[in-house]
Structure formats: structure tokens, C-alpha cells
Amino acid sequence: MSMFCYQCQEAAGNKGCTGSAGVCGKKDETALLQDVLIYTLKGVSFFAEKLETGKYEGGLVTAGLFKTITNANFNDDIFEEEITKALALKADLRARVIAKGIDISNAPSAALWEPKYVSEYELQGTIASILATKNEDVRSLRELIVGGLKGVAAYVSHAGALDNFNMDIYKFMFKALAATTDDTKTVDELVGLTLECGKYGVECMALLDKANTDAYGHPEISEVDLGVRKNPGILISGHDLKDIDELLKQTENTGVDVYTHSEMLAAQYYPAFKKYSHFAGNYGNAWWAQKEEFDKFNGAIVMTSNCMVPPTDKYIDRIFTTGETGFKGVKHIGNHDFSEVIAKAKTCAAPTEIETGKIVGGFAHEQVFALADKVVDAVKTGAIKKFFVMAGCDGRQKSRSYYTDFAEALPQDTVILTAGCAKYRYNKLNLGDIGGIPRVLDAGQCNDSYSLVLIALKLQEIFGLESVNDLPIAYNIAWYEQKAVIVLLALLYLGVKNIHLGPTLPAFLSPNVAKVLVDNFGIAPIGEVGEDLKLFMGEAV
């Protein structure tokens, strides 16, 4: 049995990664264990759905789903441990379901699997494989749902780190995961469940937004330095704000500066973090350039979530993981105790400068609402003709230069609304401003796409429009991993139409499922910059 994975945009040949390793560096054995973990969590969910369950069950499913997101965890030992934990929970839930006299005669193999030894885990790979679902439309919808749930899990996990939970989201996870094992579900039912997943996408982004802003205040317009200072540094990447909060506290007065990387750039916009004088700027670019940039950073590096690239020998001894992130041989930090990271940083040279200058961000919902009059005036006077939501992810494929070219080609009377690491394709260009409103408004991380939704809904209200689709907003979204899947499903759930998705449509969309999305939501792939621009600006192509 060899791996088969097609969950991200870089799936080999836009079909799927097979053989000994995926494009992301995930090894065959790891991929099989991930499949078996998901399979086991489906079994857990089959029983959990039938019971009054709590935080433990939801937390375990969330953690497991998050660990299997692209570029989150590459450590086989961790996956074996997670499967063992999930099996123990499953046995317990099963006993509780039986004790209640609930009929389980329709239990799927995922619920009934009870291996005795860890050595049996990998052997289950064939049965747990995505390819075990033979009907390609059913498989496609199942994977769309599981992908969306992984995105939900990531956001729920970051909210949970700040003690924010929502049992309804956990319950939906159980229901949806269990449904992906149910062979009686029709394609229509699975389409319905996919849209319901979008509803919980909105809920989990709202939950995380509340968690982040309650704890750290509302993001505000901020200038972020791209250069370096003279002290040794710690570079923190990923999405977890609780981690950077603790790191900033623990590094105070240590002579070590803290820099953000990739998605952690958004931390620079929060009042609670801006107050620290040792909080330096943002170093580097989107996740995929990390091998070279981490080498040049010289100091300690903390990965709080995906996207992690398998580290090179040049920095493997100074990189650390937290949360659900992991890599064999890389020290994992538990309980937010960063003392080892700080000790390591003190032995390192200061970062090598790779860029200079500043960028501006912090345009999350409250900040944009504060500017609403200015923005509305600009729209009314025609100074702003159109907004382009260009949120999502960046990736290493050359074809992603489309997004830089597209941003550069946009007319001067347009504004880009962005969130996620997709912005690194254009956030350092000099695109100017419109009457003081920057032409790139960065709301923050991919989950802060929620802010973009709130901004759109606010504009709809101000302009008294019936539908969010009547606004002068176009959607040209770049995707890479499963968090982008849940952001997309959330937008579809909110009724947003005509989203362009690139650089390629997901490999896991079968032709029929892709057709459903095209026919009902007007989803379209990207084309050539000039033609796409004409299409978006409403000019004849």
C-alpha cells in the first residue's frame, strides 16, 4: 500500500501524491498513519454523535484533525500516540452507547476496528485510504467535508488555547465525520452537509475572532518593520496568538528580540503585543521560502502551527514546535514554557538582514468600521471603483506569480482586501493609496477572512443592498491547504457568488462535484491576468 493524498493545492500533477513521499515532504508511512487517524476519529464520531459528549471528545477530534493538515505534523510517533488515544476513547464511547441500548447494527468498519497492537495501525491503511471510497463523487464530497473540518479544527484549536469553546461546533464535527462513513448518504445529502460545514466555518472564525480580540484587543493600523535589529532573535511563525503572548512575556528583559514570520505577521497589529519594546518586525515571506530564510535568521524559531517545511540541517537544532505541530527530532514545547527557546536564542547571532522598509496592516473589522465614512465616500465619489478580495494562501508554484501580476495590473481605483499568507505575493509592492486609504488592506491571518466578511456585510447594510453580491466586490482567492477550504465553504454558505479560485481547482473535486460548484455558485478557475481583469471589471472579454 502506498500513500495517496490530494488534500492540498500542490498535490502532484494536480491529481494526488503517491509513492514514497508527497510534494510537501510528508512520507508514505506518515500519510498512512494520518489516514488511519482520520479513520479512527470517524469511528469515535460515530459513537460520540449518539451521546452527550463534552470538551474531551471534541478536543481529541479537533487535535487529531488539525495534526493532519498540510505542513502541520510530520512525526509518526505522534500519529501512533493519537491513534492509540482515539482507540481508547472509541472503546469507552462504544461501551457507553451499548449500555444505553442504542442500536449500532449499522456501525461502519471505522467504528468497529479494534487493533491489539500498534504494529497493526499501518496495515489498516488500505481500508482507511481515501481511495477505499470507490464512487469518485462520493469520495470527492467526503474529502471536501473532511478538508473543511480540518480547517474548522485548526481555528477551534487556536480559540481553545484562549479558553473559548463551542459545543455546537464539536457536535457538528461528530455528525459530519460520522456521515463520511455512511454509505447510505446520497450525493445531494453530502452536498447539503458540505454547505452546513460552511456554516460552522463562519462560527469557528467568529469564535476565534472573539477569542483573539477579547484577549488582545482589536487590530489597529500598524507599520511593521521588515529590517532587523542587533540582538539575537526568536522568529515565531504560524497562527497561535497565545503562543506569541507567552513568548513576548517570557522574553522581556532577556536581551532577545521577537520577530514574526509568515502568518504571525498579524500579531503586529494587536495592541496587547505592540506595547513590547523587544517586539521587532516581520522577517521573511510566506511559508514556502522558510528553508533559506530560517537559515539566514540565525536565531531560534518557533512553529506554532502549519505551515512547516521539513527543516534542513542548517537550523534543525534551533527550531521548535508547539501545539499540534511536530517533526521527529525537533524539540516540542509544551505548556508555553519557552525557556529552552530563549536559552538557544541567546547562543545565536543576530539575524542577517534580508529586506528593509515597512509594510502597513491591521485592517480588521473594527479598524475598517472606524474608517467607514471615508471608505463609503470614496465609493460614492467613484474614487474606489471596486474591491478585490484576494485572501487565502501562498505556495511555491511558479504559477502563483499570477497574483503579483494581477495586483500590479489592477486599476488605480481599486482596493485589495486581503487576509492569510496569500498577501506576500503583493504586500511589498508600492501600490499607493486612494485618498489615504492604502490599496492593500490586510486584515490579518487566513481566519481573519471573517473580518472581510463582516466588512462586506457592513457595506451591504450601508448601501442598502439586497445581496452581498450586489456590492462592487470581486473575489479572486488563492488556496493551498484545508483552512482555505473552510474559508471557501464559509463564503459559499454566506451566499457569495462567482469566486475565482486558483492557481488550480482542488484535485479532490471530481468533475461532477466541480460542476455543482460552478452551476450553483459560479466558482471559476483563474485564467490569464488580462482576460480575468476584464471579466472582473465587467468589460467584454
Binding site for ligand SF4 (CB under 6 A): 5-8, 10-11, 17, 22-24, 26, 70
Report, in Å, the least distance between residue 104 CB and ligand SF4.
Answer: 33
Q: What share of the chain is helix, strand, coil (3-state, %, to 5)?
A: 50, 10, 35
Region from 84-92, 476-484, 493-501, 513-521 binding ligand FSO, contact rule CB under 6 A:
476-484
- CA 110, CA 38: separation in Å to the nearest integer? 9
Binding track, positions 402-431, relative to ligand FSO; x by CB under 6 A: ------------------xx----------
Residues 259-278 that bind ligand FSO (CB under 6 A): 262-263
Q: Which three cell numbers stand for residue 135?
A: 464512487
Region from 36-44, 477-485, 488-496, 515-523 binding ligand FSO, contact rule CB under 6 A:
477-485
CB-nearer residue toward ligand FSO: 307 or 330: 307
Among ligand FSO, ligand SF4, none, the one that 287 touches (CB under a kind-dependent 5 to 8 A) is ligand FSO
Among ligand FSO, ligand SF4, none, the one that 48 touches (CB under a kind-dependent 5 to 8 A) is none
Among ligand FSO, ligand SF4, none, the one that 11 touches (CB under a kind-dependent 5 to 8 A) is ligand SF4
Report, in Å, the least distance between residue 6 CB and ligand SF4.
Answer: 5
Three-class SS state of 480: coil
Using rule CB under 6 A, residue 483 touches ligand FSO: yes
Phi/psi region, residue 491 (left: phi>0; alpha: psi -120 to 50; beta: rest), is alpha
Among ligand SF4, ligand FSO, none, the one that 393 touches (CB under a kind-dependent 5 to 8 A) is ligand FSO
CB-based closest residue to ligand SF4: 22
CB-nearer residue toward ligand FSO: 63 or 434: 63
Using rule CB under 6 A, residue 9 touches ligand FSO: no
Report, in Å, the least distance between residue 390 CB and ligand FSO.
Answer: 12
- DSSP 8-state code for residue 427: T
- Cβ(22)–Cβ(481) below 8 Å: no
Residues 288-317 that bind ligand FSO (CB under 6 A): 306-307
Among ligand SF4, ligand FSO, none, the one that 23 touches (CB under a kind-dependent 5 to 8 A) is ligand SF4
- Cβ(484)–Cβ(420) below 8 Å: yes
Q: How many CA atoms lie within 13 A of 243 on its CB side?
A: 29
CB-nearer residue toward ligand SF4: 53 or 70: 70
47, 66, 79, 287: which one binds ligand FSO (CB under 6 A): 287
- Cβ(111)–Cβ(181) below 8 Å: yes
Residue 319 CA to chain centroid, in angstroms? 21
The helix (H) or strand (E) run that includes residue 192 is helix 187-216
Using rule CB under 6 A, residue 452 touches ligand FSO: no
CB-nearer residue toward ligand FSO: 281 or 420: 420
- Cβ(323)–Cβ(195) below 8 Å: no
- Cβ(71)–Cβ(51) below 8 Å: no
- Cβ(372)–Cβ(458) below 8 Å: yes
CB-nearer residue toward ligand SF4: 187 or 514: 514
Using rule CB under 6 A, residue 444 touches ligand FSO: no
CB-nearer residue toward ligand FSO: 198 or 420: 420
Among ligand FSO, ligand SF4, none, the one that 124 touches (CB under a kind-dependent 5 to 8 A) is none
DSSP track, 290-315? HHHHHHHH-SEEEE-SS--PPPPTTT
Instruction: Indicate the burial class of 71 (C-beta count within 10 angstroms; 0-12, 13-18, 19 or more).
Output: buried
Q: Please state the three-class secondary structure of 208-267 as a single string.
A: HHHHHHHHHCCCCCEEEECCCCCCCEEEEECCCHHHHHHHHHHHCCCCCEEEECHHHHHH
- CA 71, CA 330: separation in Å to the nearest integer? 14
- CA 320, CA 325: separation in Å to the nearest integer? 9
Report, in Å, the least distance between residue 509 CB and ligand FSO.
Answer: 17
Residue 464 identity (one-letter amino acid): G
Using rule CB under 6 A, residue 445 touches ligand FSO: yes
Report, in Å, the least distance between residue 11 CB and ligand SF4.
Answer: 4
CB-nearer residue toward ligand SF4: 2 or 520: 2
Region from 96-104, 137-145, 424-432, 478-486 binding ligand FSO, contact rule CB under 6 A:
478-486
CB-nearer residue toward ligand FSO: 240 or 263: 263
CB-nearer residue toward ligand FSO: 125 or 420: 420
> How many residues touch ligand FSO (CB under 6 A)?
14
Strand-pair partners of 236: 260, 302
Report, in Å, the least distance between residue 267 CB and ligand SF4.
Answer: 26
- CA 38, CA 357: separation in Å to the nearest integer? 44
Among ligand SF4, ligand FSO, none, the one that 7 touches (CB under a kind-dependent 5 to 8 A) is ligand SF4
Instruction: Indicate the burial class of 217 (C-beta count within 10 angstroms; 0-12, 13-18, 19 or more).
Output: middle
Q: Where along the sequence are the contacts to ligand FSO (CB under 6 A)?
A: 262-263, 287, 306-307, 393, 420-421, 445-446, 480-481, 483-484
